[in-house]
Amino acid sequence: MHTRSMTGSTGTISTRPEHLAALLMALCLLLTALPARATNVNDTLEVSIESNKTPLIMPFNPTERDMVSVYSLVYEGLVTIDDNYLPQPCLAESWEESGSGRTWSFRLRRGLTFSDGTPVTAADVVASAQYILDRANDETASSKGYYRNLNYYVNKISASGEDTVVVRTKTGRTYYGLLYAMTFPVVPASQVSRDNPMGTGPYYIENYYAGSYLILEANENWWKNQPQVKHITFRIYNTGKDVIESYERGQCDAAFTRSISAAQYKSATTSLALDYRTNQLEVLQMNQSYTKMKSLAVRRAIRAAINKDRIASDVYMGMVSRTDTPMIPGTWMYNDSVTDVCAYNLDYAKRLLEEDGWGDSNDDGILDKMIDDQLIELSLNLYVYEEPDNDVRVATANMIKDNLAQIGISVTVNTVTMATMQEKLSAGSFHMALVSYAMDKVPDPGYLLISGNTGNYGRYHSSEMTELCSDLRKTIYQGDYQQKLMEIQSRFVEDCPFVCLFYRSGVVMTRLMYTTARDVRELELLRGIESFRN
């Protein structure tokens, strides 16, 4: 289930004394811990990754997470996302909007070239975007492409001279989020459909042997300072288990993994475990088309009864970031004022249900209530789908079942295939469903919240929420955009359409420190290696 974002924007840092003290302490701990766990990288790095579905290098249509991290070092977009998760200039040195966000003009940097020294022009950017848009609009295509959501934002893209790209936005998408969508890779116009096209990034692909290895070499024509690390070799394995074993055997300097078993490396003394946030949001969907789930008190009680911290530690081994809204915690877009409202509190959950008229009339341990002259028991089905080689979601469902039993809600857990789950969601034939969403880079939760949208599986309807999301998509300045996101999250917590649990995390296990980036994130796991210096 997928969902899919002016110059010089900056984040804010708290100046409260207690926050500064905590920050200084964290920095001291970081500086003292790193040398003991890892030495600095020199001019080469060997990395183990998982890949078994990439026969050719096709940057517009990657099919595997780790390969996207490789591509991020080779291909660049008009815009990049910084450590504060804010858009910053990349191939475009600046941009401006006109017509209340209906038109955005991006001016390219002077002297940009591809890895072979060929100049980059606005026509190359347009051709790259048009290739993505054509594929997204091709009704006969079996795959719409990884960057297909660009089609949601761009109505028309064109070149104005050699150095300016002009984007006309789609109706209803004249907003700040467009900048996040301008991170798609740029390749030469003549190579958009070719295997292993040239890029503009700090590295180029010297050699690739599918299923075995991939070699990156430093791009001497990169528009920034040359990277210290000149050669990166990726060892390719079929499974995540093989990746971890290669690291344990000392066959690589670093390895990428989302396996829960990697949690053991967080306490290792001979290597460094860099936690990274994925874009995978775990949620408990609640179907409001059913009488029981229409009750706001019931939905809030379910939220209050789920012990997220216990699930995070016992099931996920800490490899998650807890969240109470669909936005990314710890970033400028997250409304942390809602945390107390969403806290684990069994007494509060029981009180909500009692005030809503639920009781145990027959002393069977399950709450019930007269609704339309019928005695309705608070018994719910919970669907969960299997993950290959991973039972964390099933374990989570069973813990939720136990949590809800403590407040008189009976839950039956049903484990189904992914295909069956999709059918259940589409048909609305479920009470609750434990699912994940691959959230888009664009910070816009409207896909999940607007009435009638395809991601709104819980049949949530709020005219106020729909209006807030529509207003967000007309907001062109970061400060105003942030404020609108705060309002959306406040409304989300008030209405409780579904329960946000976690953003999943992964680990980069490494014996060599290669980055100073604060935000190591999925799809950019070597982020910062191009600017690292010993």
How confident is the model over 5-60, as pLDDT tens digits? 343 333 333 334 444 444 444 444 443 344 446 799 999 999 999 999 999 999 99
Instruction: Identify which of 176, 194, 173, 174 has the alpha carbon closest to the alpha carbon of residue 185.
Output: 194
Instruction: Report the pLDDT value the prediction gives residue 516, as an integer from 0 to 100.
Output: 87
Specify the pLDDT at position 27.
40
Mean predicted confidence (pLDDT) in 367-375: 91
| Domains defined along the chain, listed by start | 37-53+201-271+511-534 (3.40.190.10), 75-194 (3.90.76.10), 278-505 (3.10.105.10)
Mean pLDDT of 92-99: 97
Q: What are the φ/ψ torsions at residue 124 (nearest 5 degrees)?
A: -65, -40
What percent of the chain shows pLDDT beyond 70? Answer: 91
pLDDT at 483: 98
pLDDT computed for residue 390 by the predictor:
67
E-strand ranges in 260-419 read: 272-286, 320-322, 368-371, 374-377, 379-385, 410-416
Cα 418 from Cα 429, distance rounded (Å): 15
Mean per-residue pLDDT for 165-170? 98
pLDDT for residue 372:
87
* pLDDT the model gives residue 159: 98
> What does the pLDDT read at residue 454?
87
- Give residue 31's pLDDT: 38
pLDDT digits (tens, 9 = 90+) for 302-344: 999 999 999 999 999 999 999 999 999 999 999 999 988 999 9
453-506 pLDDT per residue, tens? 989 999 999 999 999 999 999 999 999 999 999 999 999 999 999 999 999 999
- pLDDT, average across residues 282-310: 96
In the predicted model, is pLDDT for residue 254 greater than 60? yes
Strands (E), 302-373: 320-322, 368-371
Residue 258: pLDDT band (50, 70, 90) is confident
For the chain, state the CA radius of gyration.
Answer: 24
Tokens of 485: 């996101």
Q: How far is CA 290 from the centre of its chain?
A: 30
Mean pLDDT over 213-235 rounds to 97
Give 504-513 pLDDT, tens digit per residue: 999 999 999 9
Residues 6+ apart with CB under 8 A from 119: 112, 113
Q: Mean pLDDT for the chain?
A: 91
Which residue type, as a one-letter code, is found at position 494?
Answer: E
Q: Confidence band (pLDDT; 50, 70, 90) for 143?
A: confident
